[in-house]
Amino acid sequence: MELDLICQYSDLPSPLAYVSPKKEDKSELSEMDIDRIIEMAWEDRTPFDAIKLQFGLKEQAVRNLMKKELKASSYKRWRERVEACKTKHIHGRLSEINRFKCSRQRSISNNKISKR
Protein backbone atom coordinates (compact mmCIF):
# COMPACT_ATOMS: atom_id res chain seq x y z
CA MET A 1 0.00 0.00 0.00
CA GLU A 2 1.31 3.48 -0.82
CA LEU A 3 2.25 5.85 1.96
CA ASP A 4 -0.27 8.56 0.96
CA LEU A 5 -3.14 6.05 1.16
CA ILE A 6 -2.76 5.61 4.92
CA CYS A 7 -4.48 7.94 7.37
CA GLN A 8 -1.88 9.88 9.36
CA TYR A 9 -4.07 9.94 12.48
CA SER A 10 -5.22 6.33 12.76
CA ASP A 11 -2.63 4.49 10.62
CA LEU A 12 -5.55 2.77 8.89
CA PRO A 13 -6.01 2.63 5.12
CA SER A 14 -7.67 5.71 3.69
CA PRO A 15 -10.93 5.27 1.72
CA LEU A 16 -8.91 6.09 -1.41
CA ALA A 17 -6.97 2.85 -0.89
CA TYR A 18 -10.12 0.93 -1.79
CA VAL A 19 -11.02 2.90 -4.92
CA SER A 20 -9.97 1.15 -8.08
CA PRO A 21 -8.33 3.37 -10.68
CA LYS A 22 -10.31 4.25 -13.81
CA LYS A 23 -9.74 2.05 -16.79
CA GLU A 24 -7.80 4.19 -19.23
CA ASP A 25 -7.09 1.59 -21.90
CA LYS A 26 -9.97 0.19 -23.94
CA SER A 27 -8.23 -3.21 -24.07
CA GLU A 28 -8.78 -3.52 -20.30
CA LEU A 29 -12.55 -3.39 -20.72
CA SER A 30 -14.31 -6.67 -20.13
CA GLU A 31 -17.10 -7.92 -22.36
CA MET A 32 -19.57 -6.92 -19.64
CA ASP A 33 -18.10 -3.38 -19.52
CA ILE A 34 -18.35 -3.04 -23.30
CA ASP A 35 -21.98 -4.19 -23.23
CA ARG A 36 -22.77 -1.68 -20.46
CA ILE A 37 -21.06 1.17 -22.34
CA ILE A 38 -23.06 0.36 -25.48
CA GLU A 39 -26.26 0.24 -23.43
CA MET A 40 -25.48 3.58 -21.78
CA ALA A 41 -24.59 5.13 -25.15
CA TRP A 42 -27.96 4.10 -26.61
CA GLU A 43 -29.88 5.55 -23.63
CA ASP A 44 -31.10 9.07 -24.37
CA ARG A 45 -30.92 10.30 -20.78
CA THR A 46 -27.40 9.02 -20.05
CA PRO A 47 -24.86 11.76 -20.83
CA PHE A 48 -21.38 11.01 -22.13
CA ASP A 49 -20.06 12.50 -18.89
CA ALA A 50 -21.59 9.59 -16.95
CA ILE A 51 -19.77 7.11 -19.19
CA LYS A 52 -16.55 9.06 -18.71
CA LEU A 53 -17.00 9.07 -14.93
CA GLN A 54 -17.75 5.35 -14.73
CA PHE A 55 -15.39 3.93 -17.37
CA GLY A 56 -12.89 6.72 -18.07
CA LEU A 57 -13.79 6.94 -21.78
CA LYS A 58 -14.19 10.32 -23.44
CA GLU A 59 -16.91 10.90 -26.03
CA GLN A 60 -14.56 10.23 -28.95
CA ALA A 61 -13.46 6.92 -27.41
CA VAL A 62 -17.12 5.94 -26.98
CA ARG A 63 -17.75 6.78 -30.64
CA ASN A 64 -14.78 4.64 -31.69
CA LEU A 65 -15.96 1.77 -29.50
CA MET A 66 -19.48 1.97 -30.92
CA LYS A 67 -18.11 2.05 -34.47
CA LYS A 68 -16.01 -1.03 -33.78
CA GLU A 69 -18.73 -3.03 -31.98
CA LEU A 70 -21.88 -2.14 -33.98
CA LYS A 71 -22.86 -2.91 -37.55
CA ALA A 72 -22.35 0.04 -39.91
CA SER A 73 -26.09 0.68 -40.22
CA SER A 74 -26.59 0.54 -36.44
CA TYR A 75 -23.67 2.91 -35.87
CA LYS A 76 -25.09 5.38 -38.40
CA ARG A 77 -28.52 5.22 -36.74
CA TRP A 78 -26.92 5.74 -33.31
CA ARG A 79 -24.94 8.77 -34.51
CA GLU A 80 -28.08 10.36 -35.98
CA ARG A 81 -29.91 9.72 -32.73
CA VAL A 82 -27.11 11.19 -30.57
CA GLU A 83 -26.83 14.30 -32.72
CA ALA A 84 -30.58 14.88 -32.42
CA CYS A 85 -30.66 14.21 -28.66
CA LYS A 86 -29.94 17.24 -26.50
CA THR A 87 -29.62 15.25 -23.25
CA LYS A 88 -26.46 13.36 -24.22
CA HIS A 89 -24.35 16.34 -23.16
CA ILE A 90 -24.58 17.86 -19.68
CA HIS A 91 -24.36 21.44 -20.99
CA GLY A 92 -27.37 20.81 -23.24
CA ARG A 93 -29.64 19.72 -20.40
CA LEU A 94 -31.93 21.99 -18.46
CA SER A 95 -30.51 22.76 -15.03
CA GLU A 96 -33.64 21.57 -13.22
CA ILE A 97 -33.40 18.10 -14.80
CA ASN A 98 -31.10 15.99 -12.68
CA ARG A 99 -32.90 12.65 -13.03
CA PHE A 100 -36.02 11.19 -14.61
CA LYS A 101 -39.19 11.00 -12.56
CA CYS A 102 -42.67 10.62 -13.90
CA SER A 103 -44.93 13.54 -12.97
CA ARG A 104 -47.59 11.09 -11.79
CA GLN A 105 -45.24 9.16 -9.50
CA ARG A 106 -45.94 9.56 -5.79
CA SER A 107 -43.21 11.34 -3.90
CA ILE A 108 -41.91 8.65 -1.53
CA SER A 109 -44.82 6.56 -0.32
CA ASN A 110 -45.03 3.32 -2.31
CA ASN A 111 -43.33 4.89 -5.38
CA LYS A 112 -46.12 3.71 -7.66
CA ILE A 113 -47.98 5.60 -10.32
CA SER A 114 -51.28 6.61 -8.83
CA LYS A 115 -54.37 5.10 -10.33
CA ARG A 116 -57.02 7.39 -11.71
Structural domain range at position 67:
22-92
Q: Could you read off the pLDDT of 9-68 as tens digits, one per residue?
A: 777 777 766 766 665 554 578 899 999 999 999 988 888 888 888 888 999 999 999 999
Q: Are 87 and 55 in contact (CB under 8 A)?
A: no
Residue 57 resides in a domain: yes
What pTM does this model have? 0.57
Select from 35, 17, 92 the least CA-distant residue to 7. 17
Residue 9 resides in a domain: no
Residue 31 resides in a domain: yes
Residue 107 resides in a domain: no
Stated length of the chain:
116
Task: State whether the Cα torsion 9-15-18-21 is positive or negative.
Answer: negative
Structural domains in the chain (count): 1
Neighbours of 48 (CB within 10 A): 20
